[in-house]
Amino acid sequence: MTKPKKLVVILCLLVVVMVLVIFALKNKPSLVKKDRVVVDTNLNKGVSLTTYINTDHGFSFTYPDGFIVDKPTEFSCNTQNEFKYFTVKPGIIVPLEVKDYVPMNDTINLSKENIDQNKVFAGRFVYRYNGCEFGNLVSFTIVKKAKGFDLDSYLNKKVQQDNTHQPDSPTGYKVSRLLIEVNGKGVPVIRTEAFNSTHSIEDTYYFDQGKYLYMLGDNFSQTVLDMPANEKMNDNWSRIMWQDHQLSQKIISGFKISNQ
């Protein structure tokens, strides 16, 4: 092989290697932290499990019927007629159930960028007690994926865009990408942290399967989670926030997608 031909071959190989490296870097997940869903097994003792099945969109939740109040706990809710405050006595089970939003029609013009317009279903978990609906529990949204949609690229771009728009102040927020273990499998999560007095956090779990993208939302206070056990269990608001987060973790761990 002549010297010019060798140079051409070497240059071609270098170009191929560079393309592969760029492709690998572009598609490498931006993992900030690895975490896992952890559920307090003592929280749901004495409470039976219920399974919610949605055959239209191929998913189900197995979740506890509620939680047993261990200390007198004050709740509040805003009904159509009045704002209520009430106390639940120890030993009472506060029921938990699924509230479906009206399913949306399958979108014709699907977007790879603005997936909110591709929603086909939404719902959330709520407590129902004493004529009230309340609770800071899991929400779930289903979107129909556009042709060529790539979850990894979408999440990386979302983190970049959301951080670009954050307020420039000590009480702003930060958006990051995590990989959280759910039932032994790593699930991509977008975390939005607000640096306020309660250090409120919103985690959105992304389950990508078949023609749908399933998104589960969990809101909680990191301040409450970091409190010593005796402090958060003796404060009414902190105890409710902690119980809500534990139930949300239980709900997320009981989420399953059926074959589509």
- Per-residue pLDDT of 184-224, as tens digits, reads 889 999 999 888 788 899 999 999 998 899 999 999 998 88
As a residue count, the chain comes to: 260
Do both 103 and 179 map to the same domain? yes
| Whole-structure pTM value | 0.80
Do both 18 and 98 map to the same domain? no
Do both 35 and 146 map to the same domain? yes
Segment 57-108, tens digit of pLDDT: 889 998 888 888 888 888 888 877 778 888 889 888 888 888 887 677 666 6
Segment 135-174, tens digit of pLDDT: 889 999 999 888 889 999 999 988 888 887 655 555 578 8
Average pLDDT for 216-241: 87
Q: What's 1's DSSP letter?
A: -
Do both 248 and 150 map to the same domain? yes
- Tokens 């870097």 belong to 25
Do both 84 and 6 map to the same domain? no
Do both 247 and 182 map to the same domain? yes
pLDDT at site 26 = 44
Residue 178 vs residue 11, higher pLDDT: 178
Sequence-ordered list of residues with C-beta below 8 angstroms from that of 64, at least 6 positions apart, any chain? 44, 47, 48, 49, 50, 96, 247, 250
- Tokens 């129909």 belong to 144
pLDDT at site 259 = 64
Do both 99 and 191 map to the same domain? yes
pLDDT of residue 225 exceeding 90, the answer is: no
pLDDT at site 17 = 43
pLDDT at site 240 = 86
d(CA 105, CA 214): 16
| CB contact at 8 A, 99 and 124 | yes
Largest CA distance in the chain: 90
Do both 19 and 70 map to the same domain? no
pLDDT of residue 39 exceeding 90, the answer is: no
pLDDT at site 28 = 42
Q: How many domains does the chain have?
A: 2
Using the Cα atoms of residue 61, residue 53, residue 57 and residue 126 in order, give the sign of their dihedral: negative
Do both 239 and 174 map to the same domain? yes
Residue 28 vs residue 201, higher pLDDT: 201
Do both 13 and 38 map to the same domain? no
Do both 235 and 218 map to the same domain? yes
Do both 23 and 41 map to the same domain? no
Domain, as residue range, for 16: 1-29
pLDDT at site 204 = 95
HEC letters along 182-241: ECCEEEEEEEEEECCCCCEEEEEEEEEECCEEEEEEEEEEHHHHHCCHHHHHHCHHHHHH
d(CA 247, CA 122): 19
Q: Which of 106, 131, 101 is nearest to 118 (CA)?
A: 106
